Structure 1
């Protein structure tokens, strides 16, 4: 399942490059002027990510984006703020201190209590196992869903799970031969996932190495804009999509898995098929502003997830 990997990277501005009014708005949330900022890289975002130190000695983590960088990203940040503001205190999620929103620019200010780092790239087996176990604890902590008015999984995932139907309606010439041969079956399988993904857990739905921070033995989960209410096993399955992308065999992590073991294997395969179709369809679209590597990342994830789906279906 190995394949060349793409580093998650948006074209991020530095703190000093934000409009003065946005910096002032963030400082209002902080309650003191920023005297130092360490800009962070990594992750698929065109926005600022910075650890800041204030004149009063306090510290925070700030992420900010505006419509000039990407017209869709401010709405994504608003969605994240609406979720993380309602997280239970015991959830391994950095605390949201406040937001600045002027209509064009949105900034989220988090308490900097996490002195963590992203996992090694590629995933190391010990770190992957620690995060796999932590995702189980995360699902248990977030069930029942602390944000009960979120969309159910069957609504939130509908677009992704129907992407194979989009591809089947006008098959691209460069489809994998096995994929082309089974395109209609894959479309039906992916759509069937919508009948089995609802539940009462708060689902992150974007668990990858760059959305995880390791702080000693503790695992933190960041970047929640795509969250919805669904089956507790979904995040465990989608994390293993990222494991496959990094060259790990995901199947051993399923053996006796506390959440996935209780799900019908075909339902899990249906979800994986839906994500494969999503990666395949979106990789063929133009790159969004400020995210030059996203489509190539999706193209590579399509290849590694397709190989996993082919293995799980056993179709010739």
Structure 2
């Protein structure tokens, strides 16, 4: 079937799909080696796959498989999986669109609601050893990393594409790297996204103010995270100068740091 990566891939999914009739690769990118909506004689599925090679990318798809039972119905259910030279996940295909984070968007309440729904999941046993460390290398002070620790399930990739809006449902998708961390992290990630979408930092914080995890967070922890986020995106943008979206995220992080009165000169760290 045209559109599928190779014959081994087809053989792996055939017991779950039967004959595949159509393959639609979404316009937005995914952190996977293959992603598509496939229509088959056994139904329609959203399929994500990684090459089964040791390393972080393989670990991420295995995490997504393990976390899925705990994040339904916030995320579409995983219906089947297959493993060989590929690791393939077959999710229920849902009909929706990427959300908009722009000022005035009617999707903003649903985005905020998604964060509270994450908090409602609690910390699944499977995630207890998945300590959040992605911001550690960018902490202004080594002691700040303890402020990023916690016992909350963290998605940590909150962006418009990962919050899908349907006619009567909202889904948070792409659980590629769930972790255990401080409860405010997902709300903080949304703040930077909102600023990048055109909100002032003040308005962005006002949007997330109703999230329980944000309201209960220590302002010192949020300050430390804001500085680490600026360091992170500044470093990313410097290493990928042609990626305009990274420059935009670095600028948004800078605006947030300035809003919080943290107007210090920050050197990027790799």
For 1:122 and 1:300, locate their aligned partners in 2 and report how far apart those are by CA, in whole Å. 14
Alpha-carbon distance, 1:60 to partner:
1.0
CA separation in 1, counterparts of 2:252 and 2:207?
A: 16
1:22 aligned counterpart, secondary structure: helix
The residue number in structure 2 matching 1:290 is none
Matching residue of 1:273 = 227
Separation (CA, whole Å) in 2 of partners of 1:145 and 1:101: 24
If asked which structure has higher relative contact order (CA below 8 Å, sep 6+), I would say 1
Q: Deviations over 1:15-69 (max 9, x none)?
A: 6251111122122233x1211222212134363322222124x11111224389x
DSSP 3-state at the match of 2:97? coil
| Pair 1:88–1:79, CA change in 2 (3 A) | closer
Which deviations, in whole Å up to 9, do the C-alpha atoms of 1:210-266 show, x marking residues without a partner?
111111242201111221112222211112211111112312214444221111122
Aligned residues: 260
* Residue aligning to 2:267: none
Q: Name the residue aligned to 1:239.
A: 190
Return closer, same or farther for 1:199/1:217 CA change in 2, 3 Å cut-off.
farther
Question: Are residues 1:309 and 2:263 paired?
Answer: no
Residue equivalent to 2:112: 132
Cα displacement (A) at 1:267: 1.0
Within 2, Cα distance between the matches of 1:192 and 1:136?
28
TM-score normalised by the chain length of structure 1 = 0.73
- 2:8 corresponds in structure 1 to 21
| 1:49 pairs with 2:24 | no
Asked if the contact 1:79–1:225 (Cα under 8 Å) also holds between the matched residues in 2, the reply is yes
5 Å-filtered alignment, 1:189-228, equals: 191-228=142-179
Alignment gaps of 5+ in structure 2: 265-270
What is the match of residue 76 of structure 2? 94
Residue matched to 2:62: 78
CA distance in structure 2 between the aligned counterparts of 1:161 and 1:218, rounded to whole angstroms: 35
- The verdict on how the C-alpha distance between 1:252 and 1:301 changes in structure 2, with shifts beyond 3 A counting, is same
Q: Distance in 2 between matches of 1:73 and 1:15?
A: 25
5+ long unaligned stretches in structure 1: 1-13, 165-186, 288-292
The equivalent of 1:40 in structure 2 is: 26
> What is the alpha-carbon distance in structure 2 between the residues aligned to residue 67 and residue 281 of structure 1?
30
Counterpart of 1:110? 91
Cα offsets for 1:119-155 (capped at 9, x unmatched) = 1375753212221122112211x213352433223xx
When the two chains are superposed, the root-mean-square deviation of aligned CA atoms in Å is: 2.7
Contact 2:112 2:208 in 1 (8 A): no
Whole-angstrom distance in 2 between the partners of 1:192 and 1:216: 45
